[in-house]
């Protein structure tokens, strides 16, 4: 009676379903669906659906009755997955990060960026799904998770994950990636910013500069024999920044010694910094790919008994919150990660809209400015 009794209107098909369902969910209450409510109230499944999605399509009384029944039976409303299947959209947008998901919560630049994305997305009702670029256990998030569009934020060089996203034909926004005519892209003027940093050192009289960079092939560690050549396959941002450093240094006739840091962390950076600073003659300044690496350089200098900036100048990049937490405070190149996030989120919602409307629409290409911020870690070349 609890199930079969009050459902005279349901066809054999649905009766069959109920039975199957009851068998399928052993030991648990048979799942409540639109049909359950429909059977109970004695209307069609469609009317129940309308009660939830189109209040104006049925009488207020009918709707109230349906909603009450739904509530009594513990029905929470249309199943998100089923709805997503038929509607063709999931209500979530993805952010493709590195294989280390937690990076998005640890790095100051990433959190600023993501906070902006979250702020921008909130009002739209879209949720944010973090995708790691490398899924184990056979599942590849970029291929197997339902999202309506993705912000490709930071991914490894050989980004299989990114390739999957492209193949899936999802609306994409490339953030800090090599611009691709097919997609919207948002980034900062890395090349110019790098030039500013290098020029700053040149202006201070430095003619022998060490460069600490990461973002190259995973295998690479230590001094680069021919930085320009080796950088060819690197991450876009790394290539841009390196090029900016080198162009200015070379034009000024300064000697540049570039070391590649295996992973983007202060620990690894300190190690390379020690190598660079151990040379004779010692470079008078260190130009770093990021503030994170610069923080490592600072530690190395301290360990070696070198005063910053008196013995050696250190310049970072990003103006990570970290930059003002270390001592001395870092001279760096400022980027507005929050603005980048806002722009990226907007570009994606825009892409989502045009994808839905079928309009082709030229993808935007945003390049945010960078700016030199002189603090305490840089000074005139010694001697």
Partner DNA sequence: CTGAAAGCGCTAACAC
Partner DNA sequence: GTGTTAGCGCTTTCAG
Other residues' Cβ atoms within 10 Å of the Cβ of residue 310: 10
Measured from the CB atom, the residue of 85 and 279 that comes closer to DNA is 85
For helices 45-53 and 60-73, give the axis angle rounded to 10 degrees: 100
Task: Return the residues of window 28-67 that contact DNA according to CB under 7 A.
Answer: 31, 33-35, 42-47, 49-50, 52-53, 56-59, 62-63
Interface region with DNA, contact rule CB under 7 A, candidates 11-19, 217-225, 267-275, 336-344: 11-19
122 binding a second copy? (CB under 8 A): yes
| CA 346 vs CA 89, 175, 342, 361, 366: distances in Å | 18, 12, 6, 14, 11
Partner whose footprint covers residue 72, from DNA, a second copy, none (CB < 5 to 8 Å by kind): none
279 binds a second copy (CB under 8 A): no
Q: Name the residue with tokens 């680069």.
A: 224
Contact 224, 259 (CB under 8 A): yes
Q: Please report whether residue 157 would count as binding a second copy according to CB under 8 A.
A: no
For DNA (CB under 7 A), the number of binding residues is: 36
Q: What are phi and psi of 175, to 5 degrees?
A: -115, 125
CA-CA distances (angstroms) from residue 301 to 186, 264, 356?
Answer: 35, 18, 55
Q: How many residues bind a second copy (CB under 8 A)?
A: 58
Q: Which does 251 bind (CB under 5 to 8 A by kind): a second copy, DNA, none?
A: none
Q: Which does 284 bind (CB under 5 to 8 A by kind): DNA, a second copy, none?
A: none
- Contact letters for DNA, residues 87-126 (x by CB under 7 A): x---------------------------------------
The interface region with DNA, picked from 26-34, 100-108, 196-204, 289-297 by CB under 7 A, is 26-34
Residue 11 C-beta: closest distance to DNA, Å? 7
> Distance between CA 160 and CA 302 in Å, rounded?
40
Cis peptide leading into 328, omega within 30 of 0? yes
Give residue 253's region: left, alpha or beta (phi > 0; psi -120 to 50). left
CB 28 → a second copy: shortest distance, Å? 6
Site string for a second copy, 33-62 (x = CB under 8 A): ------------------------------
Residues 67-86 that bind DNA (CB under 7 A): 77-79, 82-83, 85-86
**C-alpha–C-alpha distance, residues 196 and 237, integer Å:** 15
Find the shortest distance in angstroms from Cβ 226 to a second copy.
Answer: 36
Shortest distance, position 105 Cβ to a second copy, whole Å: 4
Q: Which does 59 bind (CB under 5 to 8 A by kind): a second copy, DNA, none?
A: DNA
Beta strand pairing call for 255-260 and 222-223: antiparallel
Q: What gap in Å lies between CA 32 and CA 26, rounded to an integer? A: 14
Does 30 bind a second copy (CB under 8 A)? Our answer is: no
Q: Pick the closest to residue 290 from 255, 256, 325, 314 (CA basis).
A: 314
Taking a C-beta distance cutoff of 8 angstroms, is the pair 382, 283 a contact?
A: no
Place of tokens 């649905």: 14
282 lies in the binding site for DNA (CB under 7 A): no
Where on the chain is the footprint of DNA (CB under 7 A)? 9, 11, 13, 16-17, 20-21, 24, 31, 33-35, 42-47, 49-50, 52-53, 56-59, 62-63, 77-79, 82-83, 85-87
């Amino acid at each position: 009676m609890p199930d079969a009794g009050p459902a005279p209107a349901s066809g054999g098909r649905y009766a069959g379903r109920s039975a199957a369902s009851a068998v399928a969910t052993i030991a648990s209450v048979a799942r409540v669906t639109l049909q359950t409510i429909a059977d109970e109230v004695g209307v069609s499944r469609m009317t129940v659906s309308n009660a939830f999605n189109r209040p104006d399509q049925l009488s207020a009384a009918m709707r109230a009755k349906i909603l009450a029944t739904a509530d009594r039976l513990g029905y929470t409303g249309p199943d998100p997955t089923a709805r997503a299947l038929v509607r063709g959209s999931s209500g979530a947008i993805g952010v493709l990060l590195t294989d280390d998901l937690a990076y998005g919560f640890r790095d100051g630049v990433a959190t600023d960026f993501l906070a902006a994305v979250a702020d921008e997305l909130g009002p739209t009702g879209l949720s944010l799904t973090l995708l790691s670029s490398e899924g184990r256990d056979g599942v590849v998030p970029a291929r197997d998770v339902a999202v309506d569009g993705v912000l490709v934020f930071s991914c490894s060089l050989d980004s299989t994950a990114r390739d999957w996203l492209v193949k899936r034909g999802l609306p994409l926004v490339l953030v800090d990636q090599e611009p691709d005519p097919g997609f919207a892209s948002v980034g900062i003027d890395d090349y110019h910013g790098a030039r500013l940093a290098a020029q700053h050192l040149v202006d201070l009289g430095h003619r022998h500069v060490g460069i600490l960079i990461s973002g190259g092939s995973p295998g690479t560690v230590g001094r680069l024999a021919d930085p320009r050549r080796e950088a060819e396959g690197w991450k876009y941002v790394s290539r841009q920044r390196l090029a900016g450093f080198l162009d200015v240094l070379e034009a000024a006739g300064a000697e540049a010694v570039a070391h590649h840091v295996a992973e983007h962390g202060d620990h690894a950076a300190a190690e390379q910094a020690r190598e660079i600073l151990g040379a004779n003659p010692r470079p008078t300044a260190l130009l770093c790919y990021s503030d994170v690496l610069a923080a490592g350089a600072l530690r190395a200098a301290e360990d070696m008994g070198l005063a910053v900036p008196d013995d050696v100048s250190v310049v970072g990049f990003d103006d990570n919150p970290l930059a003002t937490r270390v001592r001395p405070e870092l001279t760096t190149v400022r980027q507005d990660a929050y603005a980048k996030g806002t722009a990226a989120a907007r570009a994606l919602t825009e892409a989502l809209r045009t994808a839905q409307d079928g309009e082709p629409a030229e993808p935007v290409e945003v390049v945010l400015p960078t700016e030199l911020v002189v603090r305490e870690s840089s000074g005139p070349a010694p001697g």
